[in-house]
Structure 1
Amino acid sequence: MIDVPQVMTVAGIDASGGAGANADLKTFHNQGVYAASIITGLTAQNTLGVQAVLPTPADFVTAQFDSVLADLSIQAVKTGALFDAERVQTVADNLAQAQIPFVVVDPVMVAKGGAPLLTDDAVAVLVAELLPLATVMTPNLAEASVLLDRPITSETAMVAAAHDLRALGPANVVLKGGHLADSRSDEVADYVALADGTGFWLRAPRVATNRTHGTGDTLPAYITAHLAKGETLAALMPNAKRFMTAAISETIAVGHGHGPLNHWVTG
């Protein structure tokens, strides 16, 4: 009998399959961990945008937690779209009670096409209740700007922002810099702020493509899988960056908008 690491995604369903819990489950399978799923909502969504959202009733979110945690040995969990303050609070309450060893929080606020996936009042609950539980938080620049209430327009600003985000509660922060417009437009740079106060950059060539649907979900899912395998954040992040670069550059022909990543790549 194979003893396999067990992880969990807490996220919404993407009807077109490219993002949210769909991307998480594909990444988990690719990386050789067993995945459970707590579904926080349904989306009518495709590569062109989000047309409708139906959040899961909060009591049913809790029922899913109860079922999974009564049976499985979850070593790491990743949160994605939580939609509103009630669901953020529900997820935070369940995670606080569960005391899962590794919690990766992706503070999903806006979909690729611009549709809001987190209400304004939910941001305060996210900061107060969920971020203090996080082993790692993985915001993009827009999300970080909302959380810190300031623009982030340079690499110097990214470093300061990542460490300031740690002060909000998460032990570590991976600040995704894919949307940074500066002189280094030929590469993508992410900054990792570690719990000990140090940090480092991860750089990769920028891929000229619009097939990036699910990028924000896939990186934290990869991190979640490898934390469950016993790796440290500092050790796993270079491999995570290589995996993301491959998944973006080895494109697949699906959809007519921001197409999904290639979750078949190795790494």
Structure 2
Amino acid sequence: MSTAPSIYTPVGHRPDWYWEEILGRRGLADRRVDGYEDAWLGMLFGQAQNEITGCSVHGGRYWEVVLDLRKLYDVLIRSARSLFLRRAAAAFNIDETYTPDQLPHTLRQSVCAPAICDRRSVANTIFPYAFATEFMGQRPTQMLGNVSFEDIIEIEELLPWESFDVDFAIGGIDSCGTASLHLNLDQHPELSFASTSDADYYFTNALADRLLPLRTQVEKYNARVQFAKEEKRKRTGVEPHIVGICIPMFFPLDLPGRSWLPYRASS
């Protein structure tokens, strides 16, 4: 199980006990110091990149696992519910007098699994015995009723940002000429853009809060790129081999910028 998150959460969304421990380790006394939000984003992004790279180096596949904790409580056998609440209180540092509706809505975790493992094996084998034991005890599957973990968790494979079929980005701050540059470059037969309009908002909308993209998101965008390249080839008779993207709000939005700058040349 990875300790790195796969989506961005602001500094203020973490509880006080978390900051007392994390910031204490880094010698920072106050999380409200000016500029720390940028440092926090950089730390989260770096962790995510390191984790998926390490998983790939060891021949694994990297997964995002999202468990609906309240749904989990509902499907537990009745005799196991009180035990689960006590264990969850200890695992999540919650007061033991809380009620089930005070459980966190979801538990999001990243997992590096052997390449041979598919979504089902991650849900029904790896997740229950590598992580669920922390808040469910040694026999988590026996606490469920007539369901499996596969029924109550969402699992998606994660990919590195360089999996996107894009070679360069036209990044701007809006109303600074990115559209004109895009439309002019698009006249070159060897260049292709996934979006035929003056801008592509896929990374600022669908991926706005992600530290790592889902495989489904990468495949959806790359399919658009392949379609655009084929349409360009039909119009010009030349096979385009350089793919660009135009993002007018590239620099004001930290996450899209961080996801691209380490891998792509931008102008």
> Do they superpose with TM above 0.5?
no
Q: Which has the larger radius of gyration?
A: 2
**What's the TM-score once normalised by structure 2's chain length?**
0.25
Higher relative contact order (CA 8 A, sep 6+): 2
**Bigger helix share:** 2
